[in-house]
Amino acid sequence: QLQTSPARLVPREASRGEAERGPSRRESPLETSGARAGRPAGNGARGLAEAGEAGAAREPVSFFVRDPLETRRDDLAWAALRALTAARSMRCRACDRLASAATLQRRWTDPCTTPRLRSYSKVSVFDSNLKLEHRERVARLGRYDDRLQNEIAHRLVDRLLDCTRTFESVLVVGGAGLVVARKLVEEASGDRGGIRSVTYAESSPSLRAAFDAKAAFELASSGVAFDSVALSDPDESTLAEVLASGRTFDAAISCLGLHWVNDLPGCLASIRRCLKPDGLFLGGFLGGDTLQEMRIACSVAEMEREGGVSPRTSPLARVRDAGSLLSAASFGLPVVDVDTISIRYPTASHVVDHLRRMGEQGANSSRRGFLGRDSALAAAAAYQALFQEEDGTVPSTYQVIYVSGWSPHESQQRPSKRGAANASFRDLKEEIEGQGGGGEAEKKGDSS
């Protein structure tokens, strides 16, 4: 029987370790045959002890069977188990990725027309507390007559005056609020614009106090009522205090404030909710091509002195995204246009000083830190060498994106449904040709 069996008998003496822990995983002791013969099952010292108690004398030798086919099946089973575990792990990771993608898709495709305002941005691109400190510094400097802010505010108010209707109540959201208030009093108050009240929503206490003081002394004789609303959110994206007051406005203006908002779709939706039906929103913010000269100069300097490049300017919105943001906030008749303003400075240091006086210095959440002295001097030298004009000045480009939209109203123009047209271009062509307005015939007559 031993010769015809595919198994091999391996007689060996049980070691002390095996006597204590038993056989290995792939070695099966001949316990079943011993149990069938009436002998006690066991191996090693335990089997010998049980055999001694039963009175059956045995030699301290244990026989182990190693079946090649059984060993092969065991290896295949363990390999299949490992493959199945790996497949389950990969499937779980894939499911997690799909679930995350579905969550992001639901977050970004959820319409803004719901009564409850939900936040679209879970990542803070800008440090709102740092930006609040910058605005507090602007209030301490007390310089509110900036040429760039005046120009942008003038163009916003000019767009407001292009409308044939009047706007009695105006909401100014963040940014250069005092500059916009002055332009409204100078150009749009009285019979020309019909403005009666201006409300300034600001998160900086110092800027709000400066607005109230300037409005009480300088603009008191204009006949326009001024007040301010304190915003508890430094990001100025929810306008919760304005919405809680229950007030609505005929128009809302934001001058150089939207490009620092983390949740821009939510901010635009809040502004729309603050407007009356058929109310106008005007906004002006910096676009992606702003400060391109400084961006190039800093990149060249850091690559030379530090061997790498880090972002030194804040990320800004692109022109093609502005219209989508207005549509996502349910504004009707959205309009987007762009202006490029170039200002010349004596040196590159004057550019940085101007940005600080306006409160427009960088506030990235993942900012690296201050630019080193060597890198700053190299950046200034690169700025002068690359962009210096013939008169010795250096230019700085500011791309300003102007957006306008109307809160929904039934009187606004709406596009017709597809297939609702009752005239065709073929009929129009035949009618024009029948009236003698055909292109080729007219050209032949002119040439003759």
**Spacing of C-alpha 125 from chain mean position:** 7
HSE, side-chain direction, 13 A CA sphere, residue 64:
15
The answer on pLDDT for 3 being more than 60 is no
**Coil, helix or strand at residue 390:** coil
How many Å separate Cα 263 from the centre of its chain?
7
Task: Give the range with max mean pLDDT: 72-81, 174-183, 272-281.
Answer: 272-281
Helix, strand, coil percent content, the chain, rounded in steps of 5 = 45, 20, 35
> Of 378, 367, 206, which is closest to residue 297 (Cα–Cα)?
378
Name the most confidently modeled range: 50-54, 170-174, 238-242: 170-174
Nearest to 394 by CA among 339, 362, 346: 346
pLDDT at 302 over 80: yes
SS3 355: helix
- pLDDT tens digits, one per residue of 326-350: 989 999 899 999 999 999 999 999 9
CA-nearest of 113, 152, 404, 413 to 280 is 404
Burial (CB < 10 A; 0-12, 13-18, 19+), residue 433, is middle
Mean pLDDT estimate for the chain: 75
What digits encode the pLDDT tens for the residues 85-95?
A: 655 555 454 44
pLDDT band at 191 (very low <50, low <70, confident <90, very high): low
- Alpha carbon distances (Å) from 176 to 139, 143, 166, 284, 318: 11, 11, 23, 11, 21
pLDDT at 106: 39
Structure tokens at 351: 């550019």
Q: Are 394 and 384 in contact (CB under 8 A)?
A: yes
| CA atoms of 85 and 89, how far apart (whole Å) | 6
At residue 262's C-alpha, the angle toward residues 116 and 123, to 5°, is 90
pLDDT value of position 51: 45
Position 438 scores a pLDDT of: 53
Q: What are phi and psi of 336, to 5 degrees?
A: -130, 130
Q: Reduced to 3 states, what is the DSSP secondary structure of residue 439?
A: helix
Q: Tell me which residue of 232, 281, 230 sits closest to 258, measured CA to CA.
A: 281
Instruction: Look up residue 203 and give its DSSP letter.
Output: S
Residue labelled with tokens 């989508």: 324
* Percent of the chain whose predicted confidence (pLDDT) is above 70: 69
Question: How many whole angstroms separate alpha carbon 262 and alpha carbon 269?
Answer: 13
Helix, strand or coil for residue 26?
A: coil
Size of the chain in residues? 448
Is pTM beyond 0.85? Reply is no
* Exposure class string for 229-247: b at 16+ Cβ within 10 A, else e: bebeebbbbbbeebeeeee
Mean pLDDT computed over 214-243 = 83
75 in Cβ contact with 27 (< 8 Å): no
Residue 414, amino acid? R
Tens-digit pLDDT profile for residues 24-63: 444 443 343 444 444 444 444 444 444 444 444 444 444 4
Q: How far apart are CA 319 and CA 401, in angstroms?
A: 7
Percent of the chain with pLDDT over 90: 28
